[in-house]
Amino acid sequence: MIHPFNEAFRRHVASSCAAFPRLAADEGTRGLKRAAVAITLVEAEVPGTTAFLLTERAATLRSHSGQWALPGGRCDDGETPVEAVLRELEEEVGLRLGTETALGPLDDYPTRSGYLVTPVVLWAGADVQLRPNPDEVAAVHRIKLTEIAREDAVDFISIPESGRQVVRIQIDGDYVHAPTAAILYQFREVLAGRATRVADLEQPVFAWR
């Protein structure tokens, strides 16, 4: 699939999100803390192609330090997922966007660390300037959508600690694991018109804390 950075592709992403039959939270997720992450679509370093923002968490953070992550975090009291991702995006990478940039949510993903994460797809527009917050972000990368669209980008492995499959995505020679990998995998499937569910996909043990 071609991922040009233009209005036609923005409309395609928006219509794909609108057509996605999102699952509501069930009784099994009751008691989990609410969180949200942003799949922020920007122009790639190669002009005219679409990328998303992926951060490397700062080594000084108390949890999940050094891991790959989508910008986001815990929802404040009374805050919607869209409001949360817009606030976190500005706090983490210095990017201020309005609610009109939100194209739609994907399925909630329950994490082993006690969160129910709502992914929100955003279209950031052209000429995006990023100012990563060093207290939270070691680096921010623009990853072309073609990286996660490759047939061999996603794979599944088994671990002795769980009967569920662990999902991971290979990006630039490194592996991104769930929860981030599960969310990006579902986004890839949504763009292809497939309502693939990911809540039952496992995370590696190092992400359980």
User: Could you tell me the residue ranges of all domains in the chain?
Assistant: 7-24+32-207
Give the closest residue to 38 by CA, choosing from 114, 112, 93, 111: 93
User: In the predicted model, is pLDDT for residue 126 greater than 70?
Assistant: yes
Spatial CA neighbour of 168 closest among 206, 77, 160, 179: 179
What confidence tens digit (pLDDT) does each residue in 39-69 have?
Answer: 999 999 888 999 999 998 765 655 655 678 8
Q: Is the pLDDT of residue 98 over 60?
A: yes
Q: If DSSP codes are grouped into helix, strand and coil, which group holds residue 115?
A: strand
- Looking at residue 100, what DSSP letter applies? G
The percent of residues above 90 in pLDDT, for the chain, comes to: 74
Q: Residue 29 to residues 2, 108, 112: CA-CA distances in angstroms?
A: 36, 9, 11
Q: Are 49 and 3 in contact (CB under 8 A)?
A: yes
Percent of the chain with pLDDT over 70: 95
- Supply 99's token pair: 């609610």
By the 8 A CB rule, do 16 and 44 touch? Answer: no
Task: Please name the amino acid found at residue 77.
Answer: D
CA distances to 12, 16, 101, 121 from 72, in Å: 24, 22, 16, 12
* pLDDT surpasses 60 at 5: yes
Cβ atoms < 10 Å from Cβ of 163 = 8
- What is the structure's pLDDT at 134? 78
Phi and psi, residue 100, nearest 5°: -70, -15
pLDDT at residue 18 greater than cutoff 90: yes
Architecture of domain 7-24+32-207 in this structure? Alpha-Beta Complex (3.90)
Taking the whole predicted model, whether its pTM rises above 0.85 is answered as: yes
pLDDT above 80: residue 9: yes
Q: Which two tokens mark 115? A: 């969160």
Q: Rounded to whole angstroms, how far apart are CA atoms 52 and 180?
A: 12
Q: Is the confidence at residue 112, as pLDDT, over 60?
A: yes
pLDDT exceeds 80 at position 25? no
Report DSSP state, residue 29.
G
